[in-house]
Structure 1
């Protein structure tokens, strides 16, 4: 059955903006400021701790403030060093908010789709950081609103996050709404919980070993044209 979509909910990090590149640059600049050599092993160790904390946050096990204010103290504790996690977080975030590297084709896709659909950003993160990155990337003018978990009070995949979004926009027909994102645990699971369609952006062709079921799967963001104009 042909679907006629009206509302497109876009995840931000690693869907439209290259978060991996922004994170790498921010970590490099932070450690340069701290005058600490940053090895690839240290970088991967930080990412491991950080991703674990975000998964806990998605499950509602820890709050956002605890996540961002302890990730660096937890990381440095692993190396036997005690630091002020909140202070290091602020230094890191000053660099991260400058990270506006685009996923290939993202700007062109968003510009074109905005002429036909209602576009919104739905992202887990810190409002000021995400807003700044969107502005710097050139993406912001094409979206009618930006929903950030910090401001909403809940994070994807919580049903409360999506209910807030639906209420704010005034969505009554869930069949006309689709979310596009790279995360099975937040975007696709959130879609399953909320009862809307989803498109899994999977550029590295990862295996889906979860119980999250995407409606569509794409490798390149430009493949959205085909899905939305079927």
Structure 2
């Protein structure tokens, strides 16, 4: 199959979100006079993961995730804080400073942008994601950025992917490829929308039979072969 439209997830596909998240959370807690420890991290990750899962399942709006995750985390620790104030500070920290690219991201985007049309599809926040792409130098390789905050729907919903399809001129399903690290948002979303998928499995996870991917890669450089002349299905 020859692809002409590539739909890239952003966090942990092109940008190393984990490292930036840890740095931003540490600075955030220190700013408000709290010690950021492994115990605090586990409380935050537990609260944040559940809220994002509820959001991706369509159970709660994005504002609930953003405005309550810090107040809920600190509440577990016996503290009462302004969740919105903390979120705004965190958003500034997350969107600024230095961002680390996943190995091969710059080279792959540079090369593929010459022969393909590249787009970002993300469940992240509009302002934050645009800032991060600009700061890393990736922004100009993409025709457009589709984010759940502006669309009003999130991956893996078909409504999100329908919006993307209808807002890319000349979009053809059979010539598009979804590329991402999340089976439950990127790969499931592509599967439900009839679009081929490439699972970026850089941490050697097991792929459940319920969410098959057209291709599986462990390094972004493998995309060159798939997008240039790849064919068939299964692991690449």
TM-score w.r.t. structure 2 length?
0.93
Question: Which structure 1 residue ranges, 5 or more long, are not aligned?
Answer: none
Secondary structure of the residue aligned to 1:115 is helix
Q: Which residue of 2 aligns with 1:33?
A: 31
| Structure 1, 65-74 or 95-104: larger mean CA deviation | 95-104
Q: Which residue of 2 aligns with 1:45?
A: 43
- The partner residue of 2:62 within 61, 64, 68 is 64
CA RMSD of aligned residues (A): 1.2
Question: Deviation of residue 171 (structure 1)?
Answer: 4.3
Equivalent pair of 2:5/2:171 in contact (CA under 8 Å): no
Matched, 1:158 2:157: yes
In the TM superposition, 1:77-226 aligns within 5 A as: 77-98=75-96, 100-209=99-208, 211-226=210-225
Question: Deviation of residue 48 (structure 1)?
Answer: 2.2
Q: Is the alpha carbon distance of 1:43 and 1:69 closer, same or farther for their aligned partners in structure 2, counting shifts above 3 Å?
A: same
Matched, 1:8 2:16: no
Question: Deviation of residue 158 (structure 1)?
Answer: 0.8
Equivalent pair of 1:184/1:210 in contact (CA under 8 Å): no
For residues 154 and 31 of structure 1, what CA distance do their matches in structure 2 show? 31
Count of equivalent residues: 228
For residues 224 and 144 of structure 1, what CA distance do their matches in structure 2 show? 19
Question: Deviation of residue 140 (structure 1)?
Answer: 0.2
Question: Deviation of residue 212 (structure 1)?
Answer: 1.6
For residues 46 and 180 of structure 2, what CA distance do their matches in structure 1 show? 21
Question: Which structure 2 residue ranges, 5 or more long, are not aligned?
Answer: 231-236
For residues 68 and 140 of structure 1, what CA distance do their matches in structure 2 show? 24
Runs of 4+ in 1 over 3 A off after TM superposition: none
Question: Deviation of residue 228 (structure 1)?
Answer: 1.6
